[in-house]
A and B are shown apart, each in its own frame.
Chain A
Amino acid sequence: MRDSSVLITISDVIEYLFCPRFIYFIYCLDIPQHEEKRFKVLKGRDVHEIRRLTNTSYLRKKLGCISKERNVFVASKENHIKGIVDEVLFLEDGTAAPLEYKFAEYKDKVYMTYKYQLYLQALMISENYDVEVNRAYICYTRSNNMVKSIKIEPEDVDEAIKIAKKTIDIIEKGVYPKATKYKSKCIDCCYRNICV
């Protein structure tokens, strides 16, 4: 990748996927989204904190987990991405897998934003630990801690890298991007009053 001083987080890529204009408003216009004022965001942070403090040595044997690391900072210098993985699971078959806790209900499908988050985490775990990552897990804390497994193919990771590059492009070039085509997302968007 070209030389760039921009370093984005996995959350930035999720926001790009929600709507590319989020990146423009946050980084180019410096208008914060004040997500900390949203009750569900705060509650989700509490859930992460509780997870961090309790059941520290619990291993998910059903998933074939033999050891784990929690709140792991990962980064990819080449792709200019950084982030924190809730748990990195090391599995019996010698591979590793990210596990992400979500303060959300499972609604019959894993959303695209969650998938891309896990693809990028998988990429960075693979790079940082030099281990194969071919699946990821997501735990829905509002659906009785239901765990869903996601298969990770190399083309999924490539696609996620492309999205990360597009995110960096907006920050570097400051081009006002097209809004998401899904208008239902605009209903609850914090930038709806200034987005034209």
Chain B
Amino acid sequence: MLAWVVYDISDNTCRKHVSDACKNYGLYRVQKSVFLGELNSNERDSLAIECEEEIDEDVDSVYIFPMDDQSFKKVKLLGQAFDKDLVSDEVLTTFF
């Protein structure tokens, strides 16, 4: 299932660790503090524990929102938008 990871972290090092963790799970960066991509329930749980370890829970926040395909199709993109097909893994590599 697709999942959004949105965070607000004040410390630069912690923020870097969280963004690295998101990339390690194969998520796409859609904005500076927003990642999106396919995560199964175990990966969602695992990423949440990793983020929990990093952040200062008194000042920082990390949200992980799962999103079903139907809702994803209704997402509206304005301005500098990300590639929806790429994020939802619909772009397949073709070998010739």
Chain A interface residues toward B at CB < 8 A = 38-40, 43, 187-188
Contact = CB atoms under 8 A, between A and B. Distances in A.
Contacts of B43: 188
5 contacts: A38-B46, A39-B50, A40-B42, A188-B41, A188-B43
Interface string B7-48: 000000000000000000000000000000000111101100
A43 B53 CA distance: 10
A38 B49 CA distance: 12
B42 A39 contact: no
A188 B47 CA distance: 14
A88 B9 CA distance: 43
B53 to A, nearest CB: 8
Contact of A188 (B40, B49, B53): B40
Contacts, number: 15
A38 B47 CA distance: 11
Interface in B43-95: 43, 45-46, 49-50, 53
A187 B46 CA distance: 15
A85 B53 CA distance: 28
A188 B50 contact: no
B49 A40 contact: yes
A98 B41 CA distance: 30
A67 to B, nearest CB: 34
B2 to A, nearest CB: 14
A123 B93 CA distance: 53
A30 to B, nearest CB: 25
A39 B40 CA distance: 15
A43 B42 contact: no
A22 to B, nearest CB: 16
